[in-house]
Amino acid sequence: MKELFTTLQQRLSEIVIGQAAIANGLLVALLAEGHVILEGVPGTAKTLLVKLLARLIQAEFRRIQLTPDVLPADILGTSIFDFNSRTFRLRKGPIFTQVLLADEINRTPPKTQAALLEAMEERQVTLDGTTLPLSGLFWAIATQNPLEFEGTYPLPEAQLDRFLFKLVVPYPAAAAERQMLDNALEGFEARNLDQLNLVPLVTVDQVLAARQQVRQTHVEPPVLDYLLALVQASRQHPELLLGASPRSAIGWLRATQAQAWLEGREYVTPEDVKAIAVPLLQHRLILKPEAQLDGTTVEQVIHGILAKVPVPR
């Protein structure tokens, strides 16, 4: 099973050049059952990466382009009147899928953003008083552009906390971008995945089975105490208004197990805990106003906490 996911990771990196770290983060989140925010400037293959991963695991994929006029019913679905049977019939929305891409999530108002809350946390949707379960795989990935602020609606803290990771997608290195240009000259078009003749590498059932294996990854008590000490340190940090939540502590644990499992180990190390810290905390921690005025960044605070808390031996 681990070899299958190693091959999957390699295949993602071969097609989406220069984003190996983001591909690894997505796989860790998938195995840890955590949703993801992909933040990056336009044209950095955020949508391509998600579509490609959904194909390689043979999962049903749907994409929602979020704009200010999108309503909750456009995501969840609604009841419509059937004139033939003279009854109301439920028309399910795009959220009833296995991999959901919410494109430019910060362009839609809070009421529409809130339509995702129940689905992300409880894997179910309530429509007209009826609770409907979602797929056991259900995985939400949201994208946002960090540069455009006019006409956007920042996600509230309650919704941000439901995302396991925030992965910042960088520009590719010069060598990787040169390879992209060579591929374009040879006829590759990112919008047409059919030209790649993709062979699925993993099934949805195998993903679910791998998640169960990940949960068996051993965590020694000192490593667990180290993770808890980092969480507590974030809540007591003098420059932070809001620290890590209990939900983030559980997500951190699951993510470290997934990271260790992907690397072929049956146990978690303190290095796994540290490797997950930035993508797991950077969207959850909130700086105090005076810290922001001093030019302090959340990432600096995270690295400071990692340097301060003793690492178990």
The identity of residue 102, as a single letter, is: A
Q: What is the pLDDT of residue 313?
A: 82
Q: 192: helix, coil or strand?
A: coil
Domains and CATH numbers, the chain: 2-210 (3.40.50.300), 215-308 (1.10.8.80)
For 96, the token pair is 């009833």
Helix-, strand-, coil-residue percentages of the chain, each rounded to 5: 50, 15, 35
3-class SS of residue 309: coil
Q: What is the pTM of this model?
A: 0.91
When pLDDT is cut at 50, 70 and 90, the band that residue 127 belongs to is: confident
pLDDT tens by residue, 26-57: 999 999 999 999 998 888 888 889 999 999 99
> Residue 159: what residue type?
Q
Tell me the pLDDT tens digit for each residue of 192-207. Answer: 677 677 888 999 999 9
CA distance 41 to 100: 20
Whether residue 125 contacts residue 118, with contact meaning beta carbons closer than 8 Å, is answered with: yes
> pLDDT band at residue 89, thresholds of 50, 70 and 90?
confident
230-248 average pLDDT score? 94
- What are the backbone dihedrals phi and psi of residue 107, each rounded to the nearest 5 degrees, phi first? -95, -5
Residue 186 DSSP symbol: T
What radius of gyration, in Å, describes the C-alpha atoms of the chain?
20
Q: Are 79 and 125 in contact (CB under 8 A)?
A: no
Q: Is 45 left (phi over 0), alpha (psi -120 to 50) or beta?
A: left
Name the residue type at position 33: E
Is 214's pLDDT higher than 70? Answer: yes
